[in-house]
Structure 1
Amino acid sequence: MNKLFKKLLITATAILSVICYSTSVFAAGFDVNNDNTVNVNDVTFLQNEISNFNDNTDYDLNNDGRVDVNDISTLQIEISKNDIETIEKNTKLSVTRNEYKQCVGDTVTFSITTNNAISDFTYSSSDSSVAKIVSTDSNTVKVKVNKVGFATVTAKQCSQSVSVRFSVEKAKCIDLSEWNGSIDFNKVKKSGVTCVILRAGYGKDPNQEDNEFQKYYKQAKAAGLNVGAYWYSYATSVDAAKAEVKNCMKTIQDKEFDLPVFLDVEEYRQAVLPRRTLTDIISTFCDGVKGYGFDVGMYSAKSMLVDSAYPDELASKYLIWMAAPNNSYNELTPFVDIHQYSWNGKVDGISEKVDMNYIYNLNC
């Protein structure tokens, strides 16, 4: 076998491993050795004929008026196409689960099983706001569910496809600080809570990290909970908000969160500021943290957000987490993504009363 033939064979094999063709029809003229089968034996036969300077025009497979190595290439490619067509027709795809029922904030990773050696898959989501494809690796796909609703993730190979349906419900969430004391996060998880938002710290001055943040973060992650963070703000100016960003980042910059980082705005000194000023303070903090690669949002009571800032402007850019224990979610404005519905919750694994929330949407 000479170098050219080896190169053609390697090229055709590479095509076979990664590409699916839709159609390929063999003409009788490709059976150059007349054994009623078109396969690699025809390539060998044609190679020998050309090596013996046979100029039989029946071997001019690419119809260029001469018999040469280009005809070997044409034959090999046609054989590869036929093999690939056979693979495509027989391709079967499957998944271990065809449906997932998840809560907002969850991440699911699943694999596609195929009966062939083709490595290429394409993935799509019917609604990426509900089920977002985060990453793919060969036949494995990671999906993050970000909103209440339904979506289908489809994997396709050749002309075959398999779909997985996602049914996404609101997530039960608690927010915690050092005041909540000792917590058994495994019991919290078993109680039905899927998300926790931890106070990372407060203000702009050094040494204002929440005393339990590091421990809570490790334990919540180990328990399999989806974790986010919030920073309690005292800022009354844009410059103070910038300083709070720096202080916050000292605490969280090495953390991996499943949920956003929120600015907690509830001080009276902030409520009496001009609406433009408070809105700019919130935007400065959120944009600053977002610049470090985190998803962001802001938390406040219903009255403060509506009366002391420009909520529509903020909601167009950031997630809105609203404290409104006296209202049902349906009574709130449509831009509310997370509803804090109680300040007196009771959760297994926590002895103190705890804030209770429902997360409906995590799409900024």
Structure 2
Amino acid sequence: MKKVKKMITALATSILVLGCNISAFALGFDINNDGVVNVNDVTFLQNEISNFNDNTDYDLNNDGRVDVNDISTLQIEISKNDIETIEKNTKLSVTTNEYKKNVGDTVTFSITTNNAISDITYSSSDSSVAKIVSTDSNTVKVKVNKVGSATVTAKQCSQSVSVRFSVEKAKCIDLSEWNESIDFNKVKKSGVTCVILRAGYGKDPNQEDNEFQKYYKQAKTAGLNVGAYWYSYATSVDAAKAEVKNCMKTIGGKEFDLPVFLDVEEYRQAVLPKRTLTDIIKTFCNGMRDNGFDSGLYSAKSMLMDSAYPNEISSNYLIWLAAPNESYSKLPNFVDIHQYDWYGRVDGISGNVDMNYVYNLNT
């Protein structure tokens, strides 16, 4: 009977990985007539087989024999019953049913469940607003990428629990070494949630922004969502490729919550053929993507509209537009980030600072 016991153990182990789609429990398996169907029925049948009892009432799998296969059938049915009982009593819960966040924020929350039989699955009602980044056991990480609302639902068997995300535009500032000493904790407390840092400029060596490394570390420590930009002088595709390499020397290995933007605002670029400037922008942005970073373009409204092909660029990359004298509602509908003021004041920064609103981070 050692073989019988080993088979029962193996079956019990395999049953634990069954999902929610199981057959109904057959009540006719109470072979010891004690009013319940459980492991005692397995023991009873095991003894009957050991005593060579070939009563056809014990032929549970209807194969014309009474043997170890009938024990297997009984064990499976008992396990199914246990699973059904657990599933009927499954309860899912979360500590918070609604989050009010700003574009660029990331939320990680856990699901509490009393059921360990099957995995929890997750879905978003609108992944452009609330994107599920990763899941791990009972934990899900969500990135909010656009103004709007969405619901993330966790489901296990027939039970589910939902968390609602209400997402508002993010208050954002962009910084370079010219902003000098900054208290990023005060910046965060002021209501700013995003910062875009100048990483450097051009294609030549030693053109990293002198404050980038320090700003990056301090902004991250303060809990701000961080992006970067690279000021461009490129007038050819080859120069744009060189700027990609130079930028990567500075930002390689870092993690950003916002994209890496190409800053295009030089007059030498404005007078280029539209095709040339558009290809310069695409070359840099594609280079960032090839290195694992989301990418986009920063420029003035007139520069983008008059010196490049805006629809071609906006259909592939994020658009961060400088238009301090216009309301967002009057800008082209492809604008994702609006730089609305060049003379803002923020606690933690001594001088003027560029002010922006982030509306969308989906490319």
Q: Which residue of 2 aligns with 1:204?
A: 203
Question: Are the equivalent residues in 2 in contact too, given 1:104–1:145 (CA < 8 A)?
Answer: yes
Q: Which residue of 1 aligns with 2:162?
A: 163
Q: Which residue of 2 aligns with 1:25?
A: 25
Q: Which residue of 1 aligns with 2:190?
A: 191
Say yes or no: does 1:55 pair with 2:42: no
Deviations 1:279-309 (A, max 9, x none): 0000000001100111111100000000000
> CA offset at residue 10 of structure 1?
3.9
Gaps of 5+ in 2: none
Q: Which residue of 2 aligns with 1:139?
A: 138
CA distance in 1, matches of 2:4, 2:195: 63
Q: Which residue of 2 aligns with 1:262?
A: 261
Say yes or no: does 1:175 pair with 2:171: no
CA distance in 2, matches of 1:228, 1:4: 63
CA distance in 1, matches of 2:35, 2:334: 69
Question: Are the equivalent residues in 2 in contact too, given 1:21–1:84 (CA < 8 A)?
Answer: no
Give 3-state SS (helix, strand or coil) of 2:99's partner: strand
CA distance in 2, matches of 1:13, 1:130: 41
CA distance in 1, matches of 2:223, 2:115: 35
CA distance in 2, matches of 1:133, 1:18: 25
Question: Are the equivalent residues in 1 in contact too, given 2:176–2:198 (CA < 8 A)?
Answer: yes
Question: Are the equivalent residues in 1 in contact too, given 2:149–2:164 (CA < 8 A)?
Answer: yes
> CA offset at residue 67 of structure 1?
1.7
Q: Which residue of 1 aligns with 2:238?
A: 239
Q: Which residue of 2 aligns with 1:2?
A: 2
CA distance in 2, matches of 1:15, 1:273: 69
Say yes or no: does 1:70 pair with 2:69: yes
Question: Are the equivalent residues in 1 in contact too, given 2:203–2:239 (CA < 8 A)?
Answer: yes
Q: Which residue of 1 aligns with 2:328?
A: 329
Deviations 1:137-192 (A, max 9, x none): 11000000000000000001111000000000000000000000100000000000
TM-score, length of structure 1 as denominator length: 0.97
Q: Which residue of 2 aligns with 1:40?
A: 39
Q: Which residue of 1 aligns with 2:218?
A: 219
Going from structure 1 to structure 2, the CA distance change for 1:172 and 1:18 (only over 3 Å counts) comes to: farther
Matches within 5 A, 1:73-152: 73-118=72-117, 120-152=119-151
CA distance in 2, matches of 1:284, 1:49: 78
> CA offset at residue 19 of structure 1?
2.5
CA distance in 2, matches of 1:221, 1:314: 30
More moved, 249-258 vs 10-19: 10-19
Q: Which residue of 2 aligns with 1:362?
A: 361
CA distance in 2, matches of 1:362, 1:149: 12
Question: Are the equivalent residues in 2 in contact too, given 1:263–1:299 (CA < 8 A)?
Answer: yes
CA distance in 2, matches of 1:298, 1:53: 82
CA distance in 1, matches of 2:201, 2:43: 76
Going from structure 1 to structure 2, the CA distance change for 1:74 and 1:150 (only over 3 Å counts) comes to: same
Query: In angstroms, what is the RMSD of aligned CA positions?
Result: 1.3
Q: Which residue of 2 aligns with 1:11?
A: 11
The aligned amino acid for 1:16 is L
Question: Are the equivalent residues in 2 in contact too, given 1:91–1:160 (CA < 8 A)?
Answer: yes
CA distance in 2, matches of 1:270, 1:336: 21
The aligned amino acid for 2:148 is G
> CA offset at residue 5 of structure 1?
2.6
Going from structure 1 to structure 2, the CA distance change for 1:18 and 1:146 (only over 3 Å counts) comes to: farther
> CA offset at residue 316 of structure 1?
0.9
CA distance in 1, matches of 2:144, 2:164: 11
Going from structure 1 to structure 2, the CA distance change for 1:299 and 1:72 (only over 3 Å counts) comes to: same
TM-score, length of structure 2 as denominator length: 0.97
Question: Are the equivalent residues in 1 in contact too, given 2:103–2:170 (CA < 8 A)?
Answer: yes
More moved, 190-199 vs 62-71: 62-71
Question: Are the equivalent residues in 1 in contact too, given 2:104–2:145 (CA < 8 A)?
Answer: yes
Deviations 1:44-66 (A, max 9, x none): 11122222222211111111222
Give 3-state SS (helix, strand or coil) of 1:256's partner: coil
CA distance in 2, matches of 1:168, 1:244: 35
Deviations 1:61-99 (A, max 9, x none): 111222222211111111111111111111111100000
The aligned amino acid for 1:168 is V
Give 3-state SS (helix, strand or coil) of 1:305's partner: helix
Say yes or no: does 1:303 pair with 2:318: no
> CA offset at residue 14 of structure 1?
4.3
More moved, 311-320 vs 64-73: 64-73
Going from structure 1 to structure 2, the CA distance change for 1:4 and 1:303 (only over 3 Å counts) comes to: farther
Q: Which runs of 4+ in 1 moved over 4 A?
A: none
Give 3-state SS (helix, strand or coil) of 2:216's partner: helix
The aligned amino acid for 1:6 is K
The aligned amino acid for 1:300 is S
